[in-house]
Amino acid sequence: MLSNKSLILIALLVIFTSLGAFSITDNYFGSRYPAFDARSMAMGGAGVFNDMRPAGFVQNPANLTAQKSFAGLHFTSMINRAEDTRMIPLYNSFDNYIDDAVYASNINAFTQFAGAGFATIGLADLRFGVGAYHLPVLSFDGIYTEEIRNNRNTDDDGYPEKIAQNDIKHEGSLYKTGMALSMAYGLSEYVDFNLGIDFGMMNADVKQETTIRWSDWSLQQVADGVVLPEYTRTADWDLEGDQLKLGAAFRVGPRFGIGMTYIPETTLTRKGTDFSYREAYRNTPMDSTWVSLDSDYELPSELRVGFTYYPRNIMRTVFSMDLEMVDYSKSMDFLDPVYNFYAGVEHHVVNRIPLRLGFQAVNGYHIDMENTIDGDGNDITLYTANKILSPMITGGSSVQIAKNIVLDLGFGYAWREYEALDLFGDAYYNDKIYTGSNSYTLWPNQYINLQNRGWENPDKVKENFITLNAGLSFSW
């Protein structure tokens, strides 16, 4: 049994860590949370059949009556460290693309919480259960800062002057508060069939802000009366709607459990405003656009099947593996369904202290938007969708705090690499446009050609995510 001091430390850990995701890239579909249950997360997120933790029913409502316990509570917190690194292509002296050079790197941390509870009752061979939960489903969080500097003074080990600062700040998560019902029919001690249904109410309050601010130094460099225009875009929107999930879990003996869930395509309503503003400069009037948002927001359907295997092993062992199909094609017709894979193993190394290892390969879409002209010279918006794989390696363990209380810890490291268009086109910082001069005021090197980079020289984006998940389970 742990001391009071240890319990306080654990409580603090649970409170100050949280579920998180975490990228400025996924600003339409958001980032999916790796797993709600810390044990499942340590096993790669696999656990569509999960009879070990009260949180199992959040993944699959049929797990509710498959639980070994009759009632349980679960609290989870997660902290996510997201590193976003952006690079530009670099060419060698033969003018061949050889690699990429980092120009901006952002590291941020995000936290989230979730909780769930359930109770079951048995009547002869039947068992009924009810559960409730609150958890974040998608994250729209993301923070990004990029400094625009010239290269003056670098030869003398001095800092180059800062011309402007670009910021992106996204806040908000899609939360789901729901209830699950499940019914089990037991044929014997280790054979039962569970069917569950889950109904959740979803809502999100998302704020997205993008700004370009010139530095004091830049403002001092230009003549009085010259305006270096600042830019602000603010989007503020809500999502609201309901989601249904169906689940089945079959325990087909002491060694095998098979699970399956299906979430039909979910339509949420998206309401809010999108406002962008650029100051007037020289001979150009200000640009102020206000758009009212009122549209449907489609979440893709998901089908997930998997199994859990309990072999005989000198170190007690559990192995879980899931396969999931997320059908984005219903949400946007130019997208394809993607297949995700989750696998993990738990070994009780010594004194029931488990070592968990896992792997997941999750695919998502990054959609880039580009304003261009078509063959007839008309303005068009071109969408580019890149399917992006995010592999993740996971690990974790747990501590039995008291007879009915377990603290699970899960760790995950994921990364992804892809091409994306430059977030802030370089042409904006061409001060000749604003001063009317033939030479740069803010840039010492007159050779520099400040133009927007398109897909001929896109950014290479490398992101990595370190996720720590702590879950406290009470079961009776």
Partner 1 sequence: MKKLFLMLFALWCIGFLAAKVDLNTASLQELKQLPITEAQARDIYEYRIFVKIFDSIFDLREIPSIDQRTLDSLRPLVVVSIYTETDEVSIRRQEIRDFIERLDSNEGASEGMADIWQDYLMTPQNVNRMHFDDFISLPNVSAVDAVAILKRVARGDTISDTRDLRNTPGLSYYGYTNLRNYVYYREAPVKNRIMMDAQMQYYTRLYEEGQYDMLHEAFVPKSFGNNWVNVPHDKRNSYWGYFNIDQVQPDMMFKLRMRYGNNLKAGIMHHSPKANSGLLFSSDDYGTDRDIIANSKYYAGYENTNLPWLDNTALKLYLGHYRATYGEGLVMENTDFYSARKTGFGFSKRIMGITPDLSRTQQYALRGAAIEIKNPRFGVSFFVSDDEKDALAYINPDGSYVMRDDFGNDVFTDENGQYFIENNVRRYTYDDGSDVFADKRKLFGYVNPTLPYDNDTMMEAEAIFNDVLNPTPGPGQSYVPFAMPYINLATRKDAMREKLWGTHLQVSPFIGTRLGFTTYTALYDNAHLVVPSYNELLPLVIRDSYYYTKLQKTLNSEVSNMYSTQTDSYSRDYRRVIGFDAGTVIGNTSIQGEYAELSVDGEDHKLGDDPKAYLVSAHTQFENLYFLTLFRNYDVDFENPYSNSFSEHERFDDTILEKNIYALTNPSISDIFQNSNQSQPERGVYFETRYKFNNYFTVGRSYLDLWERLSDGRRTARFQSELEFRPLYQLGLRLRYKNQVNRYDDLADRGVSKTNEYTIAVRTFLSNRNFLELEYRYNTVLSPPYTSLTNPAEPGNNSHAAAMTLMTGDYIGVNYTHNFSSSLKMQGSFIYWYGHGISHWDWEDMEIDFMGEKGAKAWVAFSSRISNNMYMNLKFRNKTYQDRELRIRQNNDPNHSNLSDQLTYFDRVERSENAIRLSLDYRF
- Residue ranges in 77-116 that form contacts with partner 1 under rule CB under 8 A: 88-103
Site string for partner 1, 451-470 (x = CB under 8 A): ----xxxx-x-x-x------
Using the structure block, give the residue that is written with the tokens 């530095």: 215
**Residue 157 binds to partner 1 (criterion: CB under 8 A):** no
> Of the candidates 185, 275, 309, 474, which one interacts with partner 1 according to CB under 8 A?
309
Residue closer to partner 1, measured from CB, 98 or 121: 98
Task: Find the helix or strand (DSSP H, E) in which 379 lies.
Answer: strand 379-402
Using the structure block, give the residue that is written with the tokens 């958001």: 30
> Of the candidates 311, 374, 377, 379, which one interacts with partner 1 according to CB under 8 A?
311
Residue closer to partner 1, measured from CB, 222 or 448: 448
Can you name the residues that pair with 363 across neighbouring β-strands? 389
Kindly state the smallest distance separating residue 411's Cβ from partner 1, in Å.
12
Q: Yes or no: say if 37 and 51 are a contact pair by the CB < 8 Å rule.
A: no
Using the structure block, give the residue that is written with the tokens 């690499």: 417
Site string for partner 1, 378-397 (x = CB under 8 A): --------xxxxxx-x----
**Residue 319 binds to partner 1 (criterion: CB under 8 A):** yes
Residue closer to partner 1, measured from CB, 199 or 413: 413
Of 262, 465, 239, nearest in space to 364 by CA: 465
Q: Yes or no: say if 417 and 437 are a contact pair by the CB < 8 Å rule.
A: no
Site string for partner 1, 191-230 (x = CB under 8 A): ----------------------------------------
Residue closer to partner 1, measured from CB, 244 or 315: 315
**Residue 372 binds to partner 1 (criterion: CB under 8 A):** no
Q: Yes or no: say if 344 and 381 are a contact pair by the CB < 8 Å rule.
A: no
Residues in 323-362 at the binding interface with partner 1, rule: CB under 8 A = 336, 339, 341, 343, 345, 347, 349, 351-352, 355, 357-359, 361
| 385 CB burial (10 A radius; 0-12, 13-18, 19+) | middle
Kindly state the smallest distance separating residue 61's Cβ from partner 1, in Å.
25
> Of the candidates 145, 177, 295, 313, which one interacts with partner 1 according to CB under 8 A?
313
DSSP state of 428: G
Q: How many CB atoms lie within 10 A of CB 353?
A: 12
Kindly state the smallest distance separating residue 199's Cβ from partner 1, in Å.
30
Residue closer to partner 1, measured from CB, 5 or 68: 68
Of 315, 311, 302, 213, nearest in space to 260 by CA: 302
Q: How many CB atoms lie within 10 A of CB 62?
A: 32
CA gap 23, 141 in Å, rounded: 6
